[in-house]
Every structure is written in C-alpha cells, then in structure tokens.
Amino acid sequence: MMDAKISKMIQDGEGVVGIELGSTRIKAVLIGPDNMPVASGGHGWENTLADGIWTYPLEEVWQGIQNSVAELQANVEKEYGVAVKKLKAIGFSAMMHGYMVFDANGEQLVPFRTWRNNVQEQASTELTELFDYPIPQRWSIAHIYQAILNKEEHIRKIAHATTLAGYVHWKLTGEKVMGVGEASGMFPIDIHTQDYNAKMLEKFDAKVAGIVGWKLKDLLPKVLGAGESAGALTEEGAKLLDPTGNLEAGIPFCPPEGDAGTGMVATNSVEVRTGNVSAGTSVFAMLVLEKDLKKAHHEIDLVTTPDGKLVGMAHSNNCTSDYNAWINLLGEAAKVLGAEFDTPKLFDSLLEEGLKGDADCGGLLSYGYLSGEHITGFSEGRPLFARSQESKFTLANFMRTHLYSALCAMRTGMNILMVEEGVEVDEIRGHGGFFKAAEVGQRIMAAATNAPVSILETAGEGGAWGIALLASYMVHKKAGETLPEFLKPIFAGSIGEAVKPLPEDVEGFNAYFERYHKGLPIEQAAVDTLA
C-alpha cells in the first residue's frame, strides 16, 4: 500500500491491531485490509523469580502494553502523519496458560504464576491419571489443583481464573472469555462440543468436593471459536490501553488467544498434516492431528488450533536463553581484546560458526536449563556445560552443542508423536528468535526433527501478527469461510523453500541426542548440589 493510501486507511479506521505479550517482548502490529503489517511498536521485559516463582507484576503488564501502543502510535505518526484513533478490530494474545486468579471483587489473589514454573508435578500426575488425559504442569488446571494440594489459603476465595491474555482482554472489554486454543490449555476441550470437557469437569468437582466452595466451570472463561465476537473496548479500557486518549472506545475484539495459537496462524499451520515450531525463550512443536492419539502421554499436550482442531504439542521450557548468554559473554571477551561488534553480527557470526562443527559436536555436552524441564523430569534447572579430555573443544563444536541442546527436550516429545504415534507431517514451518540466522535455524531444526523446515517472510512479525489476523478474520470473513480458507491467499508466495534435513546432520544430532539423555544424571547432580 502507498503511504497516502495507508494514511487514509488509518484515518478511516480500517486498520486492525494485534498485540502479544511474549516472554521477553510485548509487540503491537497494525495491519491494513490486505492483512499485511504497516507499523509496529514494542516493549522489552523479563520475568522475575520471586519466592521461587516465575512471575510478572501486573503493573509491568500495563506499562509494557502502554509503551508498545505508544511506540506504535509514534511510528504511525512519523511514517504516515496521522494518529490511530479508530480501528476495525483488536486482538490480544500472550504467553500460554499459567495461573491468574481473582476474587469476587476482581482483586488478584496471588502473583501471576507463569508457564515457566515446574512445581505442579503432583497435580499434573494425579490429574493425568484422573482424566486419562495428559495434563501438563503449566496448564491452569494443574496450577489450581496444586494450590489445593498445597492447602493455600486463597483457594476458597477464587471467583475467576484466567490466563494473561484472558486477563488483559477482561480488563479492556469487561468480558470473561477465551479463544478455544488458549482455553484448551486451561482445561481439556471436547473437540465435538468445542467447550470444556463436561465429564472431566464432573470428575474434578467430585475430587475436590468439600474442599472448595465452587464449581470449576463457574471459574473458567467462556470458550469462543475463531471468528466469533468477543466484546468491545470500553471507555475505561481505552484509557488503560492508550492513556493519551487517542484511541476511541467501541472497537470490536476477537477472542484472546495464547502464543501457541497465534504461532499456528502466523505460520499458516492450522490445517491437518501441517506443523510449526516456535523457538525462542521456550520451544514448542505443534502438529495438527488427523485423529486422536492411541494413549495419553505426559510429555505431550493435547490442545487445539484457534478454530478447534486437535493438536499434539511437544513443549520445552528452555531454548535460546543459555546460548544467548554465552554469545553475550563471547562478545564481552571480544570487546576486552579491542574488537566490538553490533548484536546482529555477533550472533549471526557465532551461530553460523556452529554449522562448521562436527556433526555430533565432537563429544561436547550442554544443558540450557535456566528453568525446570518437565519432558526430562526436572522441576528446577541449572545451566551446564561438560566435556571429557578427548572431546574436540573448538568454537564451532561449542556453538553447535548449544544449538543442538536447545532442541533436545522438544525432540524427546517429537519422538513420541512421530515415532510411537506415527503422526505424519508434510513440512514444519518455523518462527521465533532461533530462526534469526535463517540458514542456521532451518538446518539445525531439520536435523532435530528429520523433516523439511521452511520459514515465512512474515514470520518475523510473530504472534502479534497472528492475533491481528484472527481479529481481521472476525471482521472480514465471508459467509461460511473457514480460517484456513481465509489464510490461504494471505500466505500465497510468502513461504520460502523448505530446507531438507541432511543425512549427516540427522545422524550427528541423533548421536548427540543419545549423549544428552545419558548425561541427564550430570544435570540432576548440578540441581542437587548448586543452590
């Protein structure tokens, strides 16, 4: 779109905004009627470890949202000479699941417990057995039940439970609702009814009868599918979102979603036999299933696409954080020696060096466990690097080791889906920070998954663009048009050529993967001995 046309489009209120609260960045994206981004704004933030719990204070939530909206407004003003006052629609998404609970007055009862916490193992195990259905530790119901097991005082006071995306949506619209994809990580969804599984709700209520004074469904948000209306921006919400007063109330909202769902949309991976990998602070692979799995696996989440299809998800809590720290350290070393590089060159150069390493990393080993890792059985983590006297300790092998390790926990879950369950996927589409050095990210991911990996030209816009597309679908869809049908023309020609796995890379990754699992007792010893 030409600048003059974009200016008029913004003035006419034809734009759509998507905002996502990721683990390290909050991003706002404005798209036009052609569904392509025309402006963005962002805000960096980090989780806090407080009293052993990973959290974000609510004041930081709103500060981050307001800053990202302010930067979006400033960029629109600079590029197009107008302010964003009216919009066709808005959508919010955020890091998946976790625990946010409020009393009848809307007061938060305990600090937000994020997906990163791995102290719900007992709840996860008991609920998986109760439902004969996998209940991961980060799911909201696992948090709720663990709080009951812990006999926490606030439990009887809960009147509303939600996720970060649901919380923000509620405060801006007054509506306690949730998109089906994010809802499927609060409590299991019945694919046939597109609502919480009624039999499992009954089982849970029976198990906690007499302990709490509520029925679970009364606490949970209403489930909505992609394309449904989810309320509108209130006067109070408009002031909260944009304190300058530019943004007008009354803008329609689509159902809030989690970053898993928006990642599927942003990579056009919402149809059966498609899959995507989101790799950044955490890494998760999502494969849209043709049929139910043969049995429950505690390593695999069963969630849904934003339009309600069943998805098998292999989620790892840790991915790029540890090798980011090592690269920053190597940058400091270079600076001490008189050489200073900008961040993109530093990262690209060192990550590309990893492709020159031995296929099996020369006998090196690392665990990037900044937090616990449920797939491999760790409630806590300790970043760790190890080698033997015979290991080939080169920079190339060192970097390749960290790239491999970033994906090993996820691969553990992928083995269950693709080997034990025989799930077939034609191609995996990647997005997230792991793919910033595109050739490196695609080649290493292809080795880890033994599947072709493509990335999209637009994937860098991430989940903020994904939720903007869901908001656009709500207001622009034709009668009877499905979400895959709506997305198809948007992605035409934007998917790059898939990188096929090299046999030597696959063989090398498999050898490293075996070493990784044999070395897990080393990681356990680090957890046990390093406070």
Structure tokens at 392: 């080939």
- Is residue 141 domain-resident? no
pLDDT tens track for 100-117: 999 999 999 999 999 888
Cβ partners under 8 Å of residue 57, min gap 6: 48, 111, 112
2, 37, 232, 460 from 83: Cα distances, Å: 17, 16, 20, 25
pLDDT tens track for 150-171: 999 999 999 999 999 999 999 9
- Is residue 70 domain-resident? no
pLDDT band at residue 23 using 50, 70 and 90 as cut-offs: confident
pLDDT band at residue 281 using 50, 70 and 90 as cut-offs: confident
- Is residue 325 domain-resident? yes
CA-CA-CA-CA dihedral for 162, 172, 195, 142, to nearest 10 = -10
pLDDT on residue 491: 87
Cβ partners under 8 Å of residue 518, min gap 6: none
pLDDT on residue 272: 87
- Is residue 443 domain-resident? yes
Mean pLDDT confidence for 80-102 = 95
pLDDT on residue 460: 55
Q: Are 97 and 22 in contact (CB under 8 A)?
A: no
Q: What percent of the chain has pLDDT over 70?
A: 98
Average pLDDT, the chain: 94
Q: Are 309 and 272 in contact (CB under 8 A)?
A: yes
Q: What percent of the chain has pLDDT over 90?
A: 80
Please state the domain count of the chain. 1
> What is the DSSP secondary structure assignment for residue 420, as one 8-state letter?
I
pLDDT on residue 497: 84
Encode 330-374 in three state secondary structure: HHHHHHHCCCCCCHHHHHHHHHHHHHHCCCCHHHCEEECCCCCEH
Residue 461 has pLDDT above 70, yes or no: no
- Is residue 348 domain-resident? yes
- Show the domain range for 509: 321-455+501-529
Return phi, psi of residue 185, to 5°.
Answer: -100, 0
Q: What is the CA radius of gyration of the chain?
A: 23
125, 128, 132, 138, 351 from 122: Cα distances, Å: 5, 10, 15, 12, 39
Structure tokens at 28: 């706002």
pLDDT on residue 246: 92
pLDDT band at residue 27 using 50, 70 and 90 as cut-offs: very high
pLDDT band at residue 207 using 50, 70 and 90 as cut-offs: very high
In terms of phi and psi (left: phi > 0; alpha: psi -120 to 50; beta: otherwise), the region of 132 is left
Nearest to 262 by CA among 18, 42, 72, 31: 18
pLDDT on residue 212: 95
Amino acid at 252: P
> What is the DSSP secondary structure assignment for residue 153, as one 8-state letter?
G
- Is residue 64 domain-resident? no
CA atoms of 66 and 178, how far apart (whole Å): 22
pLDDT on residue 2: 62
pLDDT on residue 1: 55
Structure tokens at 257: 């979603």
- Is residue 399 domain-resident? yes
Mean pLDDT confidence for 176-183 = 97
Mean pLDDT confidence for 422-426 = 86
CA-CA-CA-CA dihedral for 31, 431, 142, 199, to nearest 10 = 70
pLDDT on residue 394: 98
pLDDT on residue 459: 54
58-80 vs 164-173: helix axis angle to the nearest 10? 70
Mean pLDDT confidence for 34-58 = 93
pLDDT band at residue 457 using 50, 70 and 90 as cut-offs: low
- Is residue 299 domain-resident? no
- For position 445, which CATH number holds? 3.30.420.40
